[in-house]
Amino acid sequence: MLCLKDTFDEPDGVYLILELAPEGELFNLIVMKQKLTEVETRKIFVQLFQGVKYLHERNIVHRDIKPENILLIDKELHVKLADFGLAKIIGEESFTTTLCGTPSYVAPEILEQSNRRRYTRAVDVWSLGVVLYICLCGFPPFSDELYSPENPHTLSEQIKLGRFDYPSPYWDAVGDPALDLIDRMLTVDVEERISVDGCLEHPWLTGGEGGGSGSGNVNVNDSTDGLASAIGNLEFSRRKVRRERTLLSSINDVKIARVVDVQPDVQPVKVFEKNLGLLEERERQRELQLPQKMVESANGEMGSANGKNGKDDGKEMEVENGMEPRPADKRDPQEFMELGGRGDQQLFAGGDDADSVYPDLGNSTIAGGGGRK
């Protein structure tokens, strides 16, 4: 876990001083290397499984495990799990119902309708399974790019159905035990999904340096037709398929902008720039398109003056002022408020006897699920 070193309760907010992670996010490492070897991935996941086990033994569910929330402490791939903004304490036999997390990494039970949504600590195992998949191949198991007439399933449908495979040539060099572990972690049936303890006892981790390919040692279990496939009930039709996939490294641009020396005896801190060129290009394209949109806006206003329906005047005004309409502008606010469902504990008691030290929150109630205030 990323360590909390100190807190400062100031009039304008609470400041948290966290442990320093000089090597940045795991996401940056994956993008810069395209993918990780089995040896590298195994070293990282031993730590992640132990960290999540620590949380689950204390009835804490993280709910937002992804490469961006896994931080590298040093070049030896020591990692820390960070960002507990969506974490929650739950009872041993209880469940939670809030719709939260990052779409590509959420478990299928989180995507259920609010009146059927029931999930436990097992959602963290699913998210770790997605991260494990990405580390070994460089792209996510579930993606909108897989939608086609032959496979007419959206991202959420792929997740809820557990539809994913191990396309060639990206997975050809990865051993069977790794695929078997991913299969067990990305199991839709929560009762059948492997636990964190089961992950720590899995042959891919316990087999040592020879537990998977990429270690330099020969292991009979690494054969695609070996006994591991029969034991693990691994569907190798999913491994044989050939398909082009988009690597995260091809759609993300991560660079080390500078290295900051903190103290003589402390490892320098790397400052990363992520997708800076892409953002600049999007801004340039937006500026190029803006004059044309302004012309279209002017034509629309003329049409409205000639008796046409002017119901899009607000949108035209936004474009004319250099602002793009937001995707959620026409969404019913009540629908958004109900997305979270119910079940999370209140963070502030509300009323005149509220414990909050901040005047603007003293008479409010903030619920974790549903976004009500």
Q: Supply the residues annotated as catalytic.
A: 64
Q: What tokens appear for 120 in the block?
A: 């436990």
94: β partners: none
Residue 3 CA to residue 335 CA, distance in Å, equals 37
Rounded CA-CA distance 142/327 in Å is: 23
**Nearest residue to 135 (alpha-carbon basis) of 15, 224, 71, 45:** 45
Q: Sort strands 70-72 and 269-274 into parallel, antiparallel or unpaired.
A: unpaired
Residues in the chain: 373
End-to-end distance of the chain based on CA atoms, in angstroms?
30
> Are residues 204 and 131 in contact, defined by beta-carbon separation less than 8 angstroms?
no
d(CA 78, CA 2): 11
What are the structure tokens assigned to 191, written together? 């009762």
CB 259, CB 145: distance < 8 Å: no
The two most distant CA atoms of the chain are separated, in Å, by 79
Residue 272 identity (one-letter amino acid): F
Side-chain-facing half-sphere of 330: CA atoms under 13 Å: 6
Half-sphere exposure (Cβ direction) of 364: Cα atoms closer than 13 Å: 13
Q: In 3D, which of 30, 31, 50 has the Cα closest to residue 40? A: 30
CA angle 238, 244, 246 (to 5 degrees): 110
Going by C-alpha positions, the residue among 27, 196, 2 that lies closest to residue 81 is 2
Cα 163–169–171 angle (5° rounding)?
A: 55
What does the alpha-carbon distance between residue 69 and residue 64 come to, in Å, rounded to a whole number? 8
Q: What CA–CA distance (Å, rounded) separates 371 from 112? A: 18
